Amino acid sequence: MPMAFLNGEPATADDLRALALGNYGHFTSMQVRGGAVQGLDLHLRRLRAATRELFGTELDTVDVQRQAHAALQRAGLSDASLRLTVFSRQFDYRDAGRDVATDLLVSLSPAATQAKPALRVKSYDFVRPLPHIKHVGTFQLFHYRRRALADGFDDALFVGPDGAMVEGSIWNLGLWDGERVVWPDGPALRGVCEQLLQAGLEASGVPQQVRRVALGEAGDFPAAFACNASGIQPVTAIDGVALDADTALMARLQVALDRQPWQPLA
């Protein structure tokens, strides 16, 4: 591990080179447990919409599930981190307007551990291009994350031109005001874990609000958290503002996430 399969067959160096050099495509990442995924329908909906927008073609999501399940079987795994990347070896930037058939790269790596450390994050003025698409253009995300580490923090938090918090480098931000979870509104990728948490919190009767949240409001919240495909973790600082590592809140969030069903890949 990691392992990669392209269109159902083990990926070659040439296959991976085509993706690396073209750098045009999109993906989704998920955790597999016992051959099942939480929010599988949301992941497939994301892939289908992005394929239509980037390539002008329809994605066969039944085949996507089949290939993902087959890759796990060939690797002898039931638990794993799974990434599905849609790109096209036929794509030519010199004729970028041409609709092309797509390829599917299934990548497997070890399953994420449930225990995740707290994050201290530093803010940067940045909004991802095409933020609604989980595209392979991740240069800026990792660049700002590297800058945050160099500045003594754990990760980067992005702030829009209006001064509002929008998202983290590879995660969504949730804020706790003592009574409700507040989700920052703005140009960001709406993650699957975020959507699962929202559904679970609603079912649990926990109040929620989606609104613009200025960076200057960070001190108004006693606690915050980050969420993505690998799970949930507390955010204990935003720039110079210290926040609580609220264990009761984290347990409540985990219960809400655990309410969401696991959907089999098969």
Question: Are residues 47 and 152 located together in one domain of the fold?
Answer: no
Same domain, 95 and 148: no
Residue 251 buriedness (CB in 10 A; 0-12 / 13-18 / 19+): exposed
Burial of 195 (0-12, 13-18, 19+ CB in 10 A): middle
Q: What pLDDT is attached to residue 19? A: 87
- pLDDT given for residue 47 in this prediction: 98
In the chain, the largest separation of any two C-alpha atoms, in whole Å, equals 54
- Per-residue model confidence (pLDDT) at position 1: 54
Closest listed residue to residue 64, CA positions, set 18, 91, 102, 33 = 102
Q: Are 181 and 206 in contact (CB under 8 A)?
A: yes
Question: How many structural domains are present in the chain?
Answer: 2
Which of 89, 109, 129 corresponds to the end of one domain? 109
Same-domain status, 96 and 68: yes
The whole-number pLDDT of residue 20 equals: 85
Same domain as 222, residue 133: yes
* pLDDT given at position 8: 95
- Residue that is last in its domain, among 72, 90, 109: 109
- 234/192 same-domain check: yes
Q: Quick check: is 266 in a domain?
A: no
Q: Is residue 175 in a domain?
A: yes
Query: How high is the pLDDT of residue 128?
Result: 95
- Which sign does the torsion angle of CA 251, 83, 182, 234 carry? positive
> Distance between CA 28 and CA 37 in Å, rounded?
12
Assess if residue 114 is contained within a domain.
Answer: no
The CATH number that applies at residue 82 is 3.30.470.10
Query: Do residues 92 and 178 share a domain?
Result: no
Domain that holds residue 173: 119-261
Domain C-terminal end among 59, 87, 109: 109
What are the 10-residue block averages of pLDDT along the chain, 266 residues in total? 88 87 94 98 98 95 98 96 96 88 96 90 97 96 98 98 98 97 97 98 96 98 97 97 96 96 95
pLDDT given at position 104? 97
